Each structure stands twice: as C-alpha cells, then as structure tokens.
Amino acid sequence: MVPNRCIYYLTVAVHVVLVLVALSKVVLQENLRSQLLEQYDGMLVSGGATATKQLWLLGLRLLQLVDVQAVLLHGSSILLSNRFFHDPYSRHLNGMSHLWSVLTCCCMLTNLLAMLLFFRFISITYSTVQDSLYGGLEMYQFDSVWSDFWNHLQTHSQCCGVRNHTDWTGMLWETPEKEDQFRRLLLPDGGQTPALVPISCCRKQHHHCTGAERINLGVTELLRTAALDGTSIINHTGCFASVQNSLASTVRLISTLDVILCSMQVSGFKCKRSSIIAA
C-alpha cells in the first residue's frame, strides 16, 4: 500500500505543478497583451488596417485557450487520481483510464503545436511592430499623434529611429515641394549630408542638444547639424530594439514554460499509467 500511496502523491504533485505552469502561461500571455495594448497599441495596426490588431488579439486568445484546456485536464486528473487510489476496483476505472489517456495525448499534441505557433506568433508581432514604426516615422512631421508617440518613446527609452538615428534622414515627405525644401535644409551649402533627428533623440545629459540648429515643422521640431552623428549628444540605438527588450523577458518566460509544460505532460502521463497498473 505504501508504494501505491507514493505513486498517488507523486502523480497528484505532477498534475498540480502542470496546472500552475499552465495558469502562469495564461497570466504571462495576458501581461504580454496588456504591455502591447497599453504601450504600443498603434503598433499593432499595420498600414492602418484595424483587422491586423483584431487578428493579433484572436491569435493570443486561442493560445490562451490551449492553456485553459490544459488546466482543466490536469485539474480533473487530480480528481481521477484520487478516485483510482481510494476505489481501485471500480468498474468505471478501465473506461476512465482509456478516456484520460486519449485526452492527455491530445493535450500534449495541442500544447506542442501551440508552442510552435507561439514562436511564429511572436515573429509576426515583431514584424508588424517594425513595419508600423517605419510607417509612423514617415508620418512624424504631419501627424501630431505619431509625433507625440515617437517623442515619448525616444525620450523614455533613450533611443532614436527604428534601427538607428540615420532612419530620420531617410524620411519620406508629403509632396515634391516639401522634399525640395528639406533637401535645401539638409544641404544648404552643398556640403556633406548632416543628420536630421527630432529633439527627443537627445541624450538625457544633453536634453537641449545645444549647438544643433533647430528646424520648426509646425507639428514638432527637428535638429540639424553637420557633425551630429559624430557626437555623443544623441542616442544612436534604435527604438525597435527597445521594444523587443521590453517584451523579451515575458516572451522568454512563456517559451520556457511551454517547454516545461510539454516535457512534464509526458512525465505526468507515465506517472498516471504507473498508478493504474500498480492499482
């Protein structure tokens, strides 16, 4: 009876851990959703298509649903283990054990598929955010919403541009006349092309970027100086890397829990089969 009791407690412990892991994944995925919607809401609307954001939310909810079914399965497995231990000769045990085995196999396959889909999901999310950042870069001088977003992001994250500060020099302009105007601003004397960046690109210790020429665009201001990219007064790190880093810890935790969940489900399946045989 002692070995049976040990197997019973071990089986219950495995399923309790699996339930906690699955619940942790649900919480972390909800945290990921909150991070993106609160900080980078506009970044999920690629090219102005609201459907992109809705599809992203749907994809995340489906991944959460997989973890919810894992919680239900392993929670019911605790009750089933208790039934096996206290009533090993019940006439329903054989059918229940076969049903549980089928459900466990389905759950393992579903979680494995969900793990692979999550990696793809994150890749698509990063790609959408990057495309939206470039789109917002082009709208910076025309749209106060985008200029406020970029100024906030660059000031608080101490970054500049998407990949680096040179992205601002390659901005697209609304009309050929404006393009000619900014070409004259960039090369007033036909000299070497300088850097052109928002004031929010200035480092904290040089928040006024003294010595750089300011250009008023109406919506916001830009800085121009021939030696700007050779100095230390602006941030050279891109904001896309900052966005990735802000989400990296959550994504890493979810990925780790995915691996743990899939691995432990195999162990849980073996423990359950052992308890049935021993009973």
Of residues 139 and 40, which shows the higher confidence score? 139
Of residues 48 and 70, which shows the higher confidence score? 70
Rounded CA-CA distance 40/45 in Å is: 10
Looking at every residue in the chain, the average pLDDT score rounds to 74
Cβ distance 126 to 248 under 8 Å? no
Cβ distance 266 to 232 under 8 Å? no
Cβ distance 70 to 107 under 8 Å? yes
Considering only 9-13, 84-88, 184-188, which range has the smallest mean pLDDT?
A: 184-188
Start-to-end CA span in the chain (Å): 9
Encode pLDDT of 233-248 as tens digits: 788 889 998 888 888 8
Cβ distance 193 to 163 under 8 Å? no
Of residues 20 and 246, which shows the higher confidence score? 20
Q: Is the pLDDT of residue 2 over 50?
A: no
Q: Output the pLDDT for position 224.
A: 63
For the segment 205-232, the average pLDDT, to the nearest whole number, is 60
Rounded CA-CA distance 49/51 in Å is: 5
Band (pLDDT 50/70/90 cuts) for residue 39 is low
Q: Is 203 left (phi over 0), alpha (psi -120 to 50) or beta?
A: beta
Residue positions counted in the chain = 279
DSSP secondary structure, 113-150, as one string: HHHHHHHHHHHHHHHHHHHHHHHHHHTTTT-HHHHHHH
Encode pLDDT of 265-276 as tens digits: 776 566 555 555
Q: Output the pLDDT for position 209.
A: 67
